[in-house]
């Protein structure tokens, strides 16, 4: 694994916008000089490294499913801040094996040892368009003789064909709270993969989904029953909404309700409890840092690196945010590796149960947040 530099393509902005990435102009907070999509640099891997990472990712995914089984069997929903009224429905969702599509692991990796799990984005993962589409066309334009860890597009289409969904159209729901356009484009892309798989789809805003109290069903703006829906709307938001008690019992949602356990950072502590010393895990606890002298406190339901606190013998640092009322997990802190002053996080994609590809975000800071840039990669 190494970091290399190159010359961006002429007109790269218009190229990536035509490929579904118009939000590269809005994905960053104002005032940053580095673009969100940065093809002036990229990472290079060997085939052996990628094949080894694929094996590690699929093992981690299997361990996460074992963790869900443990949480459901032991009734440990309070550790995940799941509302008491929803716990039984989470268990039923898992016991039914409600269908699921995709997820993204965030990993610490420097090419010299096993990858370390930082978190599992298993409910509403983004950076999908850039991982699946935009960096693939960058590779074809700039390094046509090389390969890339990227079968995301094909696997998504295959997965849609595999899913046993109710008859009728599948609705694709975004939220009007999306200010950058990232969620809307991610949703449009996933809708396209479903249509390529032969599914009939309908786009809708979450805010436009109605509840038909007489017939006890969700409906769209044309009063059509919503039998199945893909959503880019976290389950913790749905459970807090007025319609949450209906949502857990009606319609087939993708991602399913049991994914609320995998997208919660309490998972990190459960994994360490079930698989202590595993080479892909960092020690993590729910009741405090215990023996850890260097650790990071993460809110169970935090997003974009907000509300985190790093504690080391040399000092403490924090990121702003309002998350954390639901509780924290305390994970051993290992600084992200440094390449030319930048610190990459590997986003390893899982479609169904299979490792499917890689996206890389990097920043100069110790925590990857909304100031990070996406950079492509290739396999020599």
pLDDT at 322: 87
On whether both 194 and 47 belong to a single domain, the answer is: yes
Residues 189 and 309 in one domain: no
Q: Which two tokens stand for residue 208?
A: 């436009």
176 membership: H or E segment, kind and range:
none
Are 70 and 153 part of one and the same domain?
Answer: yes
| pLDDT higher than 80, residue 30 | no
Q: What is the pLDDT of residue 178?
A: 82
Q: Into how many domains does the chain fold?
A: 2
Same structural domain, 245 and 198: yes
- Distance from the first to the final alpha carbon of the chain: 10
pLDDT score at 371: 85
174, β-bridge pairs: 205
Quick one: pLDDT at residue 32?
A: 84
The per-residue pLDDT for 26 is 82
Average pLDDT over the chain reads 95
pTM: 0.96
Q: Please count the other Cβ atoms lying within 10 Å of the Cβ belonging to residue 151.
A: 17
Whole-number pLDDT of residue 353: 97
Residue 309 within a domain: yes
Domain that holds residue 229: 2-264+336-379
Position 208 pLDDT exceeds 90: yes
pLDDT of residue 365: 87
What pLDDT score does 153 carry?
98
pLDDT grade, residue 29 (50/70/90)?
Answer: confident
Q: Cα–Cα distances in Å, from 140 out to 133, 136, 360, 361?
A: 11, 6, 18, 20
Same domain, 229 and 293: no
Residue 31 scores a pLDDT above 80? no
178 and 245, same structural domain? yes
Instruction: Identify whether residues 204 and 73 lie together within a single domain.
Output: yes
What is the rounded average pLDDT of the residues 12-22?
96
Q: Residue range 210-218: average pLDDT?
A: 95
Q: Are residues 210 and 308 in the same domain?
A: no
CB neighbours of residue 114 within 10 Å: 15
Which segments of the chain are extended strands (E)? 2-5, 41-45, 102-108, 116-121, 170-174, 201-205, 210-212, 217-219, 228-231, 252-254, 284-285, 295-299, 309-312, 315-318, 328-332, 343-351, 354-363, 373-375, 377-379
Looking at residue 27, its pLDDT comes to: 77
Is residue 307's pLDDT more than 80?
yes
Looking at the fold, whether 240 and 325 belong to one and the same domain comes out as no
Q: pLDDT-based confidence at 42, cuts 50/70/90?
A: very high
Looking at the fold, whether 351 and 291 belong to one and the same domain comes out as no
- Beta pairing class for 309-312 and 295-299: antiparallel
Burial (CB count <10 Å: 0-12, 13-18, 19+), residue 287:
exposed
The residue length of the chain stands at 380
Check whether the bond before 255 is cis (ω within 30° of 0).
yes
Per-residue pLDDT, averaged over 212-231, amounts to 96
What per-residue confidence (pLDDT) applies to 181?
A: 83
119 and 173 in a common domain:
yes
Residue 202 contacts residue 230 (beta carbons within 8 Å): no
CA–CA separation, 341 and 349 (whole Å): 26
Decide if pLDDT at 367 tops 90. Answer: no
pLDDT at 34 over 80: yes
Q: Angle at Cα 150 formed by Cα 230 and Cα 360, nearest 5°?
A: 85
Instruction: Please state the rounded mean pLDDT for residues 226-248.
Output: 95
Neighbour count for residue 242 (Cβ, 10 Å): 7
**Calpha distance 370→184 (Å, rounded):** 17
- With a pLDDT cut of 90, the percent of the chain lying above it is 89
Is 186 within 8 Å of 180 (Cβ atoms)? no
* Position 245 in a domain: yes
- Interval 105-164: pLDDT, tens: 999 999 999 999 999 999 999 899 999 999 999 999 999 999 999 999 999 999 999 999
Which residue did the predictor score with more confidence, 202 or 371?
202
Token look-up 């984005």 returns 121
Q: What is the pLDDT of residue 369?
A: 82
Residue 271 lies in a domain: no
Residue 169 pLDDT more than 90? yes
Cα Rg of the chain (Å, integer): 20
Which of 119-123, 166-170, 316-320 has the weakest average pLDDT?
A: 316-320
What is the reported pLDDT for 75? 98
- In the block, tokens 């039984």 appear at 88
Residues 356 and 226 in one domain: yes
């Amino acid at each position: 694994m190494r970091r290399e530099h190159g010359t961006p393509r002429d007109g790269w902005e218009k190229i990536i916008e035509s490929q579904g990435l118009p939000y590269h102009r809005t994905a960053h907070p104002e005032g940053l000089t580095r673009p969100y999509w940065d093809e002036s640099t990229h990472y290079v891997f060997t085939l052996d490294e990628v094949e080894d990472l694929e094996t590690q990712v699929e093992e981690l995914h299997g361990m996460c499913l074992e963790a869900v089984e443990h949480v459901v069997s032991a009734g440990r929903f309070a550790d995940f801040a799941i509302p008491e009224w929803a716990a039984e429905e989470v268990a039923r969702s898992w016991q039914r094996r409600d269908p699921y599509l995709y997820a993204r692991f965030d990993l610490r990796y420097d090419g010299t040892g096993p990858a370390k799990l930082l978190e599992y984005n298993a409910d509403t993962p983004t950076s999908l368009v850039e991982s699946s589409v935009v960096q693939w066309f960058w590779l074809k334009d700039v390094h046509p003789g090389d390969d890339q860890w990227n079968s995301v597009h094909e696997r998504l289409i295959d997965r849609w064909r595999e899913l046993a969904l109710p008859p009728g159209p599948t609705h694709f729901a975004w939220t009007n709270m999306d200010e950058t356009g990232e969620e809307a484009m991610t949703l449009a892309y996933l809708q396209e993969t479903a249509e390529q798989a032969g599914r009939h789809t309908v786009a809708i805003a979450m805010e436009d989904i109605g509840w038909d109290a007489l017939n006890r069903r969700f409906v769209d703006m044309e009063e059509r029953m919503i039998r199945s829906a893909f959503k880019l709307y976290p389950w913790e938001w749905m459970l807090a909404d007025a319609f949450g008690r209906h949502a857990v019992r009606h319609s087939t949602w993708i991602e399913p309700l049991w994914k609320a356990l995998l997208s919660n950072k309490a998972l990190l502590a459960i994994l360490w409890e079930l698989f202590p010393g595993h080479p892909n895990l960092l020690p993590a606890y729910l009741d405090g840092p215990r023996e850890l002298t260097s650790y990071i406190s993460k809110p169970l339901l935090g997003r974009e690196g907000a509300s985190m606190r790093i504690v080391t013998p040399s000092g403490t640092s924090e990121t702003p945010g309002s998350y954390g009322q639901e509780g924290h997990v305390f994970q051993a802190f290992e600084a992200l590796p440094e390449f030319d002053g930048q610190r990459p996080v590997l986003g390893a994609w899982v479609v169904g149960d299979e490792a499917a590809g890689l996206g890389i975000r990097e920043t100069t800071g110790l925590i990857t947040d909304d100031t990070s840039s996406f950079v492509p990669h290739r396999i020599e």
